[in-house]
Amino acid sequence: MSAPSSTIRWCRGRGELSRAAADHVEALLARKPGAVIALPTGQTPLGLYAELVARTAAKRLSPAQARFFNLDDYLGLSVDDPLSYARFLREHFLMPTGVPEDHIRLLRGDAVGIEAECRDYEAAIAAAGGLDLAILGLGTNGHIGFNEPGSNWSARTHVVFLSPETRATHMTQTQGKFAIPEYGITVGISTIVEAREILLLVAGGAKARPLAAFRRGIPDSKWPVTALLTHRNLTVLAEAELQAAAAEGVMGLTNP
């Protein structure tokens, strides 16, 4: 198995990456207005959401008929908490584009019965007909969603202990203003790979090593992103500045 460079579209900076990602979503909504989409959070998709908001305002697309889920959130946080991913998505995409409330189902990190919440979330995805598109970011340690290295690839939505690396990265992103919870709740890898399409967005120099693991083309539980290697409809958009660094990283992974 391999993941040749030709499977990756190399974009010249965040702007081009964001526009290409928005083109992908726009094309999906054009052919299936009621598409079911899983959304990521973090710094990488911010440009995508800004593009989609602008295109909605310009009437190039309308996400109002689509249904939206999120990939993950912190355990214990309400949807209104300033650190919650649910609030992030509402502020940056769902509210500005006018998506109806009944077309939104976000993880409730503060649910009293968290195991029941996980089951209900999976049931909601199934009732919607399954995910048409899962949009993913990439963690510095290779995680997708909050599926950390060593995660069970057959798991569905579940609670996960967040690695020190992930928590440190997120602490930096919030300028140290918030204490990052030790646990998260995430859509599992099994659910992600069942999506009919996957769009993986890779930006930032810290992503070179996990991208190298992906390009090596060997499924490896230490690098959850490699679970995507067998997917039949995967699009990878990555910043061009990562190309050389990721290539060098492949050699490093092959010859430790």
Catalytic residue among 24, 92, 143, 170: 143
Regarding predicted confidence, which is higher, 249 or 26?
26
The amino acid sitting at 220 is D
Give yes or no for residue 6 having a pLDDT over 50. Answer: no
Whole-number pLDDT of residue 256: 40
* Average pLDDT value for residue range 17-28: 98
pLDDT, tens digit (0-9, with 9 covering 90-100), for 178-205: 788 999 999 999 999 999 999 999 999 9
* Average pLDDT value for residue range 45-74: 97
Query: Residue 213: pLDDT band by 50, 70, 90 thresholds?
Result: very high
141 is catalytic: yes
Q: What is the mean pLDDT of the chain?
A: 92
Whole-number pLDDT of residue 146: 97
Catalytic residue among 148, 158, 170, 239: 148
* Average pLDDT value for residue range 131-152: 97
Whole-number pLDDT of residue 255: 45
Whole-number pLDDT of residue 253: 60
Whole-number pLDDT of residue 174: 72
Planar angle of CA 136, 137, 139, nearest 5 degrees: 130
Give yes or no for residue 61 having a pLDDT over 90. Answer: yes
* Average pLDDT value for residue range 79-89: 93
Lowest mean pLDDT among 40-49, 53-62, 244-253: 244-253
3-state secondary structure of 187: coil
Taking the CA of residue 95 as centre, how many other CA atoms within 13 Å lie in the half-sphere pointing to its CB?
Answer: 7
Whole-number pLDDT of residue 248: 66
220 is catalytic: no
> pTM for this one?
0.93
From edge to edge, which strands make up the β-sheet containing 8-11? 8-11, 234-239, 197-202, 133-136, 36-39, 67-70, 104-105
Taking the CA of residue 212 as centre, how many other CA atoms within 13 Å lie in the half-sphere pointing to its CB?
Answer: 20
3-state secondary structure of 143: coil
81 is catalytic: no
Whole-number pLDDT of residue 170: 82
Whole-number pLDDT of residue 112: 92
Q: What percent of the chain has pLDDT over 70?
A: 93
Catalytic residue among 51, 70, 72, 117: 72
Lowest mean pLDDT among 52-66, 154-168, 239-253: 239-253
Catalytic residue among 141, 170, 197, 239: 141
> Which two tokens mark 161?
């202990």
Angle between helices 242-254 and 208-216 (to 10 degrees): 60
Taking the CA of residue 250 as centre, how many other CA atoms within 13 Å lie in the half-sphere pointing to its CB?
Answer: 16
Would you say 200 and 138 are in contact if contact means Cβ atoms under 8 Å apart?
yes
Whole-number pLDDT of residue 195: 98
From edge to edge, which strands make up the β-sheet containing 72-74? 72-74, 183-186, 158-161
Whole-number pLDDT of residue 169: 85
Local structure of residue 144 (DSSP, 8 states): B
Would you say 73 and 85 are in contact if contact means Cβ atoms under 8 Å apart?
yes
72 is catalytic: yes
